Amino acid sequence: MGNKHMLNSLSKPKGVPDLEEMMLTMMAKIEEVANDNTQLKRDNAQLKLDITELKRNEAHMKLDGESLKSLIENAVEDRLQYLEAITRQITPPTCETLASLGVTRTGSYLVDPDGVLRGDPPIRVLCDMETGQGGST
């Protein structure tokens, strides 16, 4: 910065020594600018490499995310199928049976009137547990 101010404040050279000093100052400034330019080019090249690496990492993370999502979806589907199979095996035939098993809350339940693993799959009914009968509606 001092050199810049010195260049601006110099008046007309008064002789060869002044010209030599001005040349040395200008050469030093040119060298400083060249060094700064070289450093900027290095920094720019590194930033380009960093961007490329970030893009590659993003692509890998996207693939990993999709794989994880697929694994989770498959696990959930497998579990759901397992739970559905178990439900069919332990679904009571009536709301009254649920009441006899200790269920006291009125709500929507699966029952299998024709029997476990026979005929039609279980159906969802509203069991009224407040009447004491465990009736369905």
* Domain containing residue 95: 91-137
pLDDT score at 3: 52
Residue 58 shares a structural domain with residue 114: no
Residue found under tokens 């893009």 = 55
pTM > 0.85: yes or no: no
Residue 5 shares a structural domain with residue 41: yes
Tens of pLDDT along 16-69? Answer: 888 999 999 999 999 999 999 999 999 999 999 999 999 999 999 999 999 999
Q: How confident is the model at residue 11 (pLDDT cuts 50, 70, 90)?
A: low
Judge whether 135 and 95 are in contact, CB under 8 Å: yes
Of 90, 106, 121, the residue at which a domain comes to its end is 90
Tell the burial category of 28 from Cβ atoms under 10 Å away from its Cβ (0-12, 13-18, 19+): exposed
Residue 61 shares a structural domain with residue 111: no
Residue 82 shares a structural domain with residue 134: no
What average pLDDT score do residues 77-94 get? 82
Residue 131 shares a structural domain with residue 82: no
Residue 106 shares a structural domain with residue 72: no
